[in-house]
Structures are given as C-alpha cells and as structure tokens.
Structure 1
Amino acid sequence: MLLLLLTHLLFAQQPAATAQIPPLAQKAADRTTGTVCCLYTRPSTQSPMLSIVPVGAQVQVTDSANNAYFVYAQFSKKGKVLSGYMYRACLSAAP
C-alpha cells in the first residue's frame, strides 16, 4: 500500500509529456535511376512487372522504409504515372 502511495505521488508531480511525434509519411524524393530497372506491383521479383525503367529516368520515391531491397516509386511513362516497387540498388547515389 505504501508503495502504491509513493508511486502515485511520484507520477502526480511529473509534467505532462509534450514531445512531438514525428510524421509517419516521408516526403517524396526525386531520384534518378543509375541502371535499367523494373517496376513491380509488389516488393518481389516474382510479382507482375509494370514497366521497365530506363537509365537516367526521373522517379519519385515515396516510401523507402518498409523494405531493405525495394522502394515504392512513381514513374511517368508516355504521360501515364505508374506506381510500384523497384530495387533500391537501381537508384543513383542521393545528391
């Protein structure tokens, strides 16, 4: 009982937590491909291929935290925006 009372007194004097929670969504980053790469529907080479991304193409990486090998990217081909997964290694070094 004494321990419960001391715990209550200890927590009652602590200020409320005011830390900022970082946003879950990352900012999209424009990147350039360094090699020919494929855009897949899922983060697996066994999934259907959406398109072949040529060398030097601009892609917009929207999510890179979910997988060590793949990034979620958007690529524009003939005026149509394709969204899918591509190998992280296909991207050239970040500026």
Structure 2
Amino acid sequence: MSGAAIAISVILCLSLFVWMQSRNTSGGAQNRRDNRQLRPQHPQLERKLVKLLGGNHQAANRLIQQSQLRHPDRSADWHWEKAIYDLERDRWR
C-alpha cells in the first residue's frame, strides 16, 4: 500500500472517530429530550418504584426513559405505574 493510501485511511479513521465522539457528547435535541427526568403527578409512585429498586434512583429513571421511548403518547403517571407493574409482575415469575 502506498504512503498516500495509508494517509487517506488514517484521516478517514480519525474523521470517523471524531464524528462518533461528537454524536455521543453533542447535547443535541435528542439527547436533551432523553435525559430529562419525567416526574409523576403523584409522588408516591416515584417513592414506590425507587423502593422496589432498593433505592436506586438511576435505575428508576432508566426504566421511565425506556417506557417513554416505547410509549411517547402516555402520561407521566402511566409510565411510573407501568414500571411498577412490570417490576412486580417479573418478580413473581
């Protein structure tokens, strides 16, 4: 392989790497929308879900975010109730 071909390959690889890094850290509209925390109208739902998860708030937020992606048209309380229902259902399987 010639020196020019190697140089072009290196430049393409570096460009791809920089592009992938910028996508992961850009803070674009999609990232801002996914990272917002959806709070329930009834705080006892949040307390119950976090309690079921042993106090892990991050896990609760991940479950809610996943639910939002699957069912974007539902209310905040619905997402919290769904996460609670799914956890309780799966624990008895």
TM-score by length of 1: 0.28
Query: Which structure has the highest helix share of the two?
Result: 2
Higher-Rg structure is 1
Query: Which structure has the highest strand share of the two?
Result: 1
